Chains A and B, each alone.
Chain A
Amino acid sequence: MSLLQQCACASSKTKESPTAVPYSRKHQTTSASPPQNDGLSQGEDNRIHSTMMSSGSFVPDTKHYELYTVIGRGCNDTAGIILTKHIPSSKHIAIKKTNLESCDIDFSVLQNEVILCRQLQHEKVLPILTTFIHDHELWTVMPLMAYGSCKDLIHAYFTNGLSEQASSYILRDTLLALEYLHSKGIIHRSVRASHILVAANGNVCLSGLRDAHSMIQRGRRLRIVHDYPQHFVRSLQWLAPEILEQNLMGYDCLSDIYSVGITACELANGYAPFTDMPVTQMLLEKINGTKPVLADCTTIADLVGEENTNQGHDSGIDSEATNSREITDLANARKFSHHFHNFVEICLEKSLETRPSASTLLGHSFFKHLKKKTSEMLPSLIQPLSPLTDISKLPKAQAGDVDDLAEDINNMSMEEGWDF
């Protein structure tokens, strides 16, 4: 196969622009390609990120990709995210394979997500490099976010939450992404730790635009929207009260800010507020204006008080009790800055009039101490975790895995054909 590969390279190179792109491009373009080798001295990952978008070098052809191991799941487990080597450039990327035969997939939603993402370009929004169909799977080629999602970080090590500084970088970058989306009239609608990804160099990207909604419709910018899709169920915890209320007042971009507040708690506490709470109770709490808080020594007394009253209704299981004692001890031992507490509080403002915009929040005192642009500090703040960069030891995906086998058997069992 490698030989074939080289043949293809050699033949297509002659027609290419003089820039060093040693592999074929299916679509010939007339544009003067931007200079692609200007960033050699910069951080490798940054460069990949920027040139990946502009170069159009990712070809919709499976032959260009060598699949390694599954590193994540997406879309309700119907999609696998696979660590992949892009053969022409030897770069590591990620491919999301979505099984379109699965009945859980709403094809048009998937299509909208891809088409929307392809029209966005921002350092903090996860780009889609190319997409194509292979058998009954949709392959979405994306940069490798080697630390995984913030939820992965929490799962892997920071079960009691990330440090305030790590959280501040992540939230700052999330807000930068939202500032961009909101300026385009796009409401993200599912901001949560599992949709915030971290690259090896610490760059943070917002992903998960499946539920995103455009406020610009038919050549007019809507002031509010009333769209309440069915599959919101997974994100209920993070959604703003005005979305959950589903009333005529509608909602707008500021509803994402509420989700940022919930995500801030999720990052710092290690779990999202309202976890384990019955949906109706959560709804009531949100509508009544209950504001979740960061668990530390200044707030834990109130939190524990609440939890005890809650447990009165439940049958108090022992393990839960010890668990909550651990949380109490831990919270008592830490203290978040009042900037952080205030940040969360204003994000979770119930009233849309008082809730600040992404741009306003970026000027919040919580972010004052951060270096202007980079998040290269982030990897040092999430040690001992390390990014997934060495793939040499990882197993390669086997051709024809179990699914295919099952399918073959299915085919065999089919009756004889028709008589025409």
Chain B
Amino acid sequence: MPFFGSSKKSPQELVKAIKDQLQVLGTKSAKGYQTDKKVSEDLTKNLQVMKTMLYGSADSEPSTEVVAQLAQEVYNTGTLILLIKHLIRIDFEGRKDIDRIFANLLRRQIGTRMPTVEYLCTKQEVLFELLNKYEEPETALLGGRMLRECCRIESLTKILLYHEAFYKFFDYVELSTFDIASDAFSTFKELLTRHKMVSAEFLEANYDRFFVNYQKLLSSENYVTRRQALKLLGELLLDRHNFTTMTRYISSPDNLKLMMNMLREKSRNIQFEAFHVFKVFVANPNKPKPILDILLRNKDRLVEFLTKFHTERSEDEQFIDEKTYLIKQITELSGPKDQMEVLK
């Protein structure tokens, strides 16, 4: 135990002090929120103390016992939700300490149990409070970071995916501020790709609603949204966990038309990403008739187009192989009519 600094608060006292200070800052009067500089400064100091308790310092490791007491107190007093709710009323550096505190508590483990995760499963509003931060520019990136920490945990990902609020992402990724929009996209992607089984089940169960919304991203006016959405689509379809979703996606002639048009977009990066979705349609051994019809109608054009397509990528062997394969597949395509003629 330290001999100096006997004024050190116990974890219980510390959490209580933080909670009280948050309540002062979170009190709304007719004039708006309180801006008590003293309280705000003290809060920042307390958060720093809390962070040090959890992380240890340069020359001391954190004490397991203190951490356990601290975490328990945070759960019992509902301080976590308060911290996140009032994030914007905490000063710039204090906010970042909250991010660190959150990340540390979240990964806490006792044997196989993860107490903070268990706590969050019962207090789901914390997760949605974090999600709402995307609507508050000053704290959006911090909220995003904390949310992505949650995405590492399967059970929390499940809660987020199946909640109505998930569809807010389709607006967030289109926000005009690049850093916030692209942060939201990272979180969105994380939710859909980290826990394969969970997201595959989610996509199957919510196919229609998801892809109606996704379509908007693919036709977004924002170049980055369009490009990122297209890239993620390719990744999702090519993941074997998403086989059912892929089969459904590549049976739709509208989806094929969209990809063929994107092959012709002026942006070469978008053309390239579109290629990786388009190839799935062509490679499908059981093409439904409408898909086959479109490909047949455009057979010669497609062959000509693909032959000239991104010829400068001479070092990307996989791409060249795939392109050659597609050209071969399309050249060999034959419709029912042709087959009849062959029979004659």
Contact = CB atoms under 8 A, between A and B. Distances in A.
Interface of A: 26-27, 29-32, 56, 60-61, 100-101, 111, 114-115, 118-119, 121, 128, 130-133, 135-136, 138-139, 184, 216, 218-221, 407, 410-411, 414-415, 417-420
Contacts of A100: 223-224, 227, 269
B100 A415 contact: no
B176 A60 contact: yes
A208 B333 CA distance: 52
Interface string B36-58: 00000000000000000001100
16 contacts: A30-B33, A31-B33, A31-B89, A32-B35, A111-B186, A118-B141, A133-B224, A138-B224, A139-B178, A218-B149, A218-B152, A219-B105, A221-B55, A410-B266, A417-B264, A418-B261
- If over half of A's interface residues share one DSSP class (helix, strand or loop), that class is named, otherwise mixed; here it is loop
Which 5 pairs, one residue from A and one from B, show the smallest C-beta to C-beta distance?
A: A219-B103, A219-B104, A131-B178, A27-B137, A60-B176
Nearest to B91: A121
B305 interface: yes
Contacts of A136: 223, 267
A415 B266 contact: no
Interface in B173-218: 176-179, 182-183, 186
A132 B33 contact: no
B182 A115 contact: yes
Interface stretch (B8-16, B161-169, B294-302): B294-302
A3 B75 CA distance: 55
A219 B266 contact: no
A131 B176 CA distance: 8
Contact of A418 (B102, B135, B257): B257
A133 B223 contact: yes
B138 interface: yes
A115 B183 contact: yes
A184 B96 contact: yes
Given A32-B33, A133-B178, 8 more contacts: A27-B137, A31-B89, A61-B176, A111-B179, A115-B182, A219-B105, A219-B106, A418-B260
Given A29-B137, A138-B178, A410-B266, A419 B297 contact: yes
Given A133-B223, A138-B178, A218-B103, A119 B142 contact: yes
B123 interface: no
B177 A131 contact: yes
B69 interface: no
A32 B178 contact: no
B179 A101 contact: no
Contacts of A184: 96
Nearest to B105: A219
Contacts of A56: 137-138
A292 to B, nearest CB: 30
B279 interface: no
A126 to B, nearest CB: 15
B301 A415 contact: yes
A184 B51 CA distance: 12
Contacts of B267: 101, 136
A52 to B, nearest CB: 14
Given A29-B88, A219-B104, A414-B264, A111 B182 contact: yes
Contacts of A218: 103, 107, 149, 152
A420 B179 contact: no
Given A60-B178, A114-B179, A219 B149 contact: yes
